[in-house]
């Protein structure tokens, strides 16, 4: 009897009374990585779900922006600029939401993932470094989309009347704002320790909220117009109050996004 293995198993009887062999069962492993897009989308969904389940993150991304929006829209003690007050308040709070999610939340999460070795492990998995970074960017996009829907609904309840042209004009600012601040978050989280990232991200968020041109027009527009926060706030205010695309601020955001992405690619440390 041969020891080469079973090539075929006995089968049913054939027309002439003979046996018809059945084909051998192929147990050869055929495992492989899922396509890049599927891996990236799953990672983005995972990170978005983790962020939405985190109480501190939820406070930063949804609760605080809603409180700021209602306070800014309902009070008149603070000058938001010329134009419809609710539209100005919504523009500023959308800018705050983008910074909170794309920069502060992403920097803190990535910094602690790096410290705990999560980045190193995922970078060596089939997801790869490119898929991991793309997944983080996708998670930011999902979270910002949720924020936009919630904040627009709250603004409508406060008396805002949405305009299709204004929302379309705001879309490039939201996209470039997310790109610029996500790249800055990765640069910060990939170059300093997690504890320092936590402190720096929160400190920068407070500074930008107070004088970065996000909600309130800056007293030094020449300075803040060159910052990504000032450019984002100006672009969103122009879109929602004047229904125009502010090209200059968008170019500033694009420049910051490109510079921060190049710096992250050069100096980001995975462990």
How many angstroms separate the first and last alpha carbons of the chain? Answer: 57
pLDDT at 78: 76
Per-residue pLDDT at 208 exceeds 80:
yes
> Using CA atoms, how far apart are residues 94 and 116, in angstroms rounded to an integer?
32
Q: Which two three-digit tokens encode residue 4?
A: 């080469």
Per-residue pLDDT at 23 exceeds 70:
no
Query: If you write DSSP's letter for every residue of 205-247 in order, what string do you get?
Result: HHHHHHHSSSSS--S-HHHHTTSHHHHHHHHHHIIIII----H
pLDDT at 77: 75
Q: Residue 4 — very low, low, confident or very high, per pLDDT cuts 50/70/90? A: very low
What is the pLDDT of the chain when averaged over all its residues?
84
pTM to 2 decimals? 0.82
pLDDT in tens, 45-55: 888 888 878 77
pLDDT in tens, 226-250: 999 999 999 999 999 999 999 999 9
pLDDT in tens, 59-75: 777 888 888 888 888 88
> Using CA atoms, how far apart are residues 111 and 76, in angstroms rounded to an integer?
39
Q: Residue 6 — very low, low, confident or very high, per pLDDT cuts 50/70/90? A: very low
Q: Residue 27 — very low, low, confident or very high, per pLDDT cuts 50/70/90? A: low
Measure Cα distances from 76 to 8, 68, 182 in Å: 85, 13, 33
């Amino acid at each position: 009897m041969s020891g080469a293995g079973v090539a075929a198993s006995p089968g049913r009887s054939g027309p002439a009374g003979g046996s018809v062999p059945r084909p051998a069962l192929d147990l050869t492993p055929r495992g492989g990585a899922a396509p890049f897009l599927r891996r990236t989308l799953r990672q983005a969904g995972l990170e978005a779900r983790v962020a939405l389940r985190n109480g501190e993150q939820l406070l930063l991304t949804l609760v605080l922006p809603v409180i700021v929006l209602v306070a800014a829209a309902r009070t008149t003690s603070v000058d938001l600029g010329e134009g419809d007050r609710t539209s100005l308040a919504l523009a500023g709070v959308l800018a705050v939401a983008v910074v909170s999610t794309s920069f502060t939340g992403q920097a803190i999460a990535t910094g602690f993932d790096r410290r705990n070795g999560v980045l190193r492990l995922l970078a060596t998995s089939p997801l790869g470094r490119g898929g991991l970074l793309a997944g983080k960017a996708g998670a930011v996009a999902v979270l910002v989309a949720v924020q936009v829907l919630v904040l627009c609904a709250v603004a409508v309840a406060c008396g805002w009347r949405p305009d299709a042209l204004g929302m379309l004009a705001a879309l490039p600012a939201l996209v470039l704002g997310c790109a610029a601040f996500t790249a800055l978050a990765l640069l910060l989280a990939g170059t300093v320790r997690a504890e320092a990232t936590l402190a720096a991200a929160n400190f920068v968020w407070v500074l930008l909220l107070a004088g970065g041109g996000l909600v309130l027009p800056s007293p030094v527009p020449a300075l803040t117009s060159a910052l990504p926060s000032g450019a984002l706030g100006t672009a969103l205010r122009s879109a929602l109050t004047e229904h125009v695309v502010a090209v200059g601020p968008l170019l500033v955001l694009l420049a910051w996004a490109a510079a921060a992405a190049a710096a992250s690619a050069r100096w980001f440390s995975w462990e």
